[in-house]
């Protein structure tokens, strides 16, 4: 496995927003989104093992971990599974931020582990690379589906996808909408959601409000 950084901060996104979290950012990504804010993770990093990563995680007192990137699911499958097994054995809560293009069935999740499926919208330039079968692989009551929106077209694409695939919150689906930082007014996105009576969670990237948007390790 190749790790870009391991750090302790608050979760800036997802249903765990605001909670203290240990982040493991892996090196490498199979996509090149136009609005990517972690380009430094494309290549920078050092080799490590699941056991080595666990040793670093244990340095922090919180039992909440986010595996992110880059794209964590392009790491060696057996090693990623070993890491998930180790985290489960020590009763960590785990979220895996994945970009929507990689088959999430590559790894088996345990109790208190979930995917955050970040479906890439048209303005990302990567929407055609999505593995839409992942929308059938997720477990509604466990996993989350995130749409990071940069304009009206992105929003309408997302809503159409939700309707076409029957991602109804009444069936347990957990939907998140977030504005691309600096590209769209948060108010506009909120008003679109309300006008459509869309039962989805709105959020901003909290860490970019607390710290400089370009700051690493937060």
- The reply, when asked if residue 45 is annotated as ligand binding, is no
Per-residue pLDDT tens digits of the chain, which is 218 residues long: 999 999 999 999 999 999 999 999 999 999 999 999 999 999 999 999 999 999 999 999 999 999 999 999 999 999 999 999 999 999 999 999 999 999 999 999 999 999 999 999 999 999 999 999 999 999 999 999 999 999 999 999 999 999 999 999 999 999 999 999 888 999 999 999 999 999 999 999 888 888 887 788 87
- The reply to whether 10 sits in an annotated binding site is yes
Q: What is the sign, positive or negative, of the torsion defined by CA atoms of 152, 154, 156, 159? A: negative
CA dihedral 75, 217, 22, 48 (to 10 degrees): 40
pLDDT value, residue 208: 86
pLDDT value at residue 205: 86
Collect all residues with Cβ–Cβ distance below 8 Å to 197 and sequence separation of at least 6. Answer: none
> Residue 46, annotated ligand binder?
no
pLDDT of residue 22: 98
35 is an annotated ligand-binding site residue: yes
Q: Does residue 68 have a known ligand-binding role?
A: yes
Q: Is 201 annotated as a binding residue?
A: no
49 annotated among ligand-binding-site residues: no
Tokens describing residue 183: 């590209």
- For the segment(s) 2-210, the CATH number from 3.30.160.270, 3.10.620.30, 3.20.20.70, 3.40.50.1170 is 3.20.20.70
pLDDT of residue 74: 97
User: Structural domain boundaries of the chain?
Assistant: 2-210
Burial class (CB in 10 A: 0-12, 13-18, 19+), 33: buried
Helical spans, DSSP H, in 90-151? 134-137
Is 12 annotated as a binding-site member? yes
Identify the burial level of 140 via C-beta atoms within 10 angstroms of its C-beta, where 0-12 means exposed, 13-18 middle and 19 or more buried: middle
Question: C-alpha angle with apex 28: 25 to 33, nearest 5 degrees?
Answer: 95
CA 10 to CA 175: how far, in whole Å? Answer: 21
Q: Is residue 70 marked as binding?
A: yes
- Give the pLDDT confidence score for residue 77 in this predicted structure: 97
Q: Is residue 75 annotated as involved in ligand binding? A: no
β-sheet bridge partners, residue 146: 118, 176
Q: What are phi and psi of 181, to 5 degrees?
A: -60, 125
**Closest among 96, 161, 150 to 123, alpha carbons compared:** 150
Tell whether 77 is in a known binding site: no
Say how many Å lie between the first and final Cα of the chain, rounded. Answer: 22
Tell me if residue 145 falls in helix, strand or coil: strand
């Amino acid at each position: 496995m190749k790790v870009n950084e391991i750090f302790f901060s608050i979760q800036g996104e997802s249903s765990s927003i605001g909670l203290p979290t240990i982040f493991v950012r892996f090196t490498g990504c199979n996509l090149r989104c136009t609005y990517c804010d972690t380009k430094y993770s494309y290549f920078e990093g050092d080799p490590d093992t699941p056991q080595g990563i666990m040793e670093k995680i244990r340095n922090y007192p919180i039992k909440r971990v986010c595996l992110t990137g880059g794209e964590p699911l392009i790491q060696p499958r057996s090693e990623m599974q070993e890491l998930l097994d180790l985290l489960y054995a020590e009763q960590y809560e785990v979220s895996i931020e994945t970009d929507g293009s990689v088959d999430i069935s590559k790894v088996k999740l345990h109790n208190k582990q979930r995917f955050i499926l970040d479906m890439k919208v048209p303005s990302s330039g990567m929407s055609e690379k999505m593995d839409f079968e992942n929308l059938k692989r997720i477990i509604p009551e466990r996993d989350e589906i995130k749409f990071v929106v940069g304009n009206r077209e992105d929003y309408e694409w997302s809503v159409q996808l939700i309707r076409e695939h029957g991602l109804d919150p009444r069936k347990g689906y957990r939907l998140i909408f977030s504005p691309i930082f600096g590209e769209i007014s948060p108010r506009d996105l909120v008003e679109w959601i309300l006008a459509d009576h869309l039962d989805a969670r709105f959020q901003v990237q909290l860490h970019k409000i607390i710290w400089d948007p370009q700051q690493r390790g937060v």
